[in-house]
Each structure stands twice: as structure tokens, then as C-alpha cells.
Structure 1
Amino acid sequence: MYTGYFATASNRGDWSEAIVLTDAESGDIIDISACRVTLTVRDDNGRNVLKASTDDGSITLPDLGTFQWEFSDDQMSGLCPGAYGVGVRISQDDRTVQLVIGSVNVMEGIDDQ
């Protein structure tokens, strides 16, 4: 499981990240093409403020072992500046793994054009 921080995001722009899963011992890329991937972003009150999933296409699998999400600037504009918890889970058949427990800092965007 990964724990840590994502790069800072703006609440006036898209937020997109891609993660490549590799085997820790061999370095081989892990095939996740048959997996369900979900992501939840929570505020400091424990409320879910953003969600993404391979179920609805908001998380994609663009390359072998890679999953990617993108939240639009409209979705991000609903976030107040601050720190948010991020969780990612991956599932296949009846097995679910908590892949990521991390944080993202959201800053107030500055361009009003």
C-alpha cells in the first residue's frame, strides 16, 4: 500500500493523475485490465467530495498496469482550499485491496479569465 501525498491541485483547473503498478520484487508491470478501481476524496469532516471509478469511466486504464483519473475544473471548483484525504481501492473477483491512503492539498486558483 502507498501512503503519502499527491502533487498539489488547484480548485480552478483539472486534476489528473496516473499511477503505474509494478511488482516490488521483479519490477514487472502488473496487469490490472480485469480489475475495478475506485477513488474517493474526503474533506476533513469525513464527507466524500469527489468519487471516481472504472465502473463509470471516470478512472481509465490507458496502458498495461496504469490507472488514471481526471476531475474537471467544474468538479474541482466545488472544493475549498485545504487538505483532503484520498483513498484508492482495487478489486478483482471477491478480493479488494486498499492500494492508496494519502492526501492532496488543494489551493485556491488565481486566474479569473
Structure 2
Amino acid sequence: MPSLKDLKNRIGSVKSTRKITKAMQMVAAAKLRRAQDAAEAARPYADKMADVVNGLAAAAQGSDTAPKLLAGTGSEQTHLLVVMTAERGLCGGFNSSIVKIARQRAQKLLAEGKTVKIMTVGRKGREQL
């Protein structure tokens, strides 16, 4: 059985660890709140960009002068998958989940007889694909 001194040292160690953990939690909460605020501030810009793209696509429907990227070529044989992953790790299963979904989608398109091109954004996706 541990001595009284050993127990007191252990209790002190646990209290010290608890303080450090609490401080780390507060820092993480502040960073999360800042990231959420930034995402919320960007929402109007993303909504406006979606409106602009949708407007361009609607204007391109049936127009002979519309760019091929907007109007399409009428052939849906070649598909470009843009896979966006992180540059570094430490983001849980994010990268592996994205790569797994991209592979599943590519296999589905290949099974349908389509040509698939993959463009990666981010080092982790580039390494895995």
C-alpha cells in the first residue's frame, strides 16, 4: 500500500494535470469560436457566389455564345473530380474519409463507362491518390 506521502504527491499531480487540461480546453474553445465566427462571416459571400454561378448557368442554357464550361458539350463521358484535402495531418479521419469517398465515386463512374480525371488540392490527397 502506498504511503501517505505518495498519495499526496499523486493527488497533487492529478490536480496539476487537471489545471493544464482546463487551460488547453479554454484555448481550444476560443479558437473554435473564432473559426465559427469567421465561417459565419464568410457565409454571405458564399451565398452571393452561388447566386452568381447559378445566374451564369441559367443564362448559358440554350445560348450558342455561352462558354463550353458553363453550357457543356452535350457529352457526359469525361468527369473531373476535384478532391480537396488538408496539407497536413492532425485532422482526425477527414483526409481518409475524403479520399475514400473520391475513390468510391471514381469507381462508380468507371463502372458506368465514363472517363474519370482526378485533380487534388492538398498534399494528403495527392499522396493517397
Which structure has the highest helix share of the two? 2
Q: Which has the larger strand fraction?
A: 1
- TM-score of the superposed pair, with normalisation by structure 2: 0.21
Q: Which has the higher contact order (CA 8 A, sep 6+)?
A: 1
TM-score by length of 1: 0.22
- Structure with max Cα Rg: 2
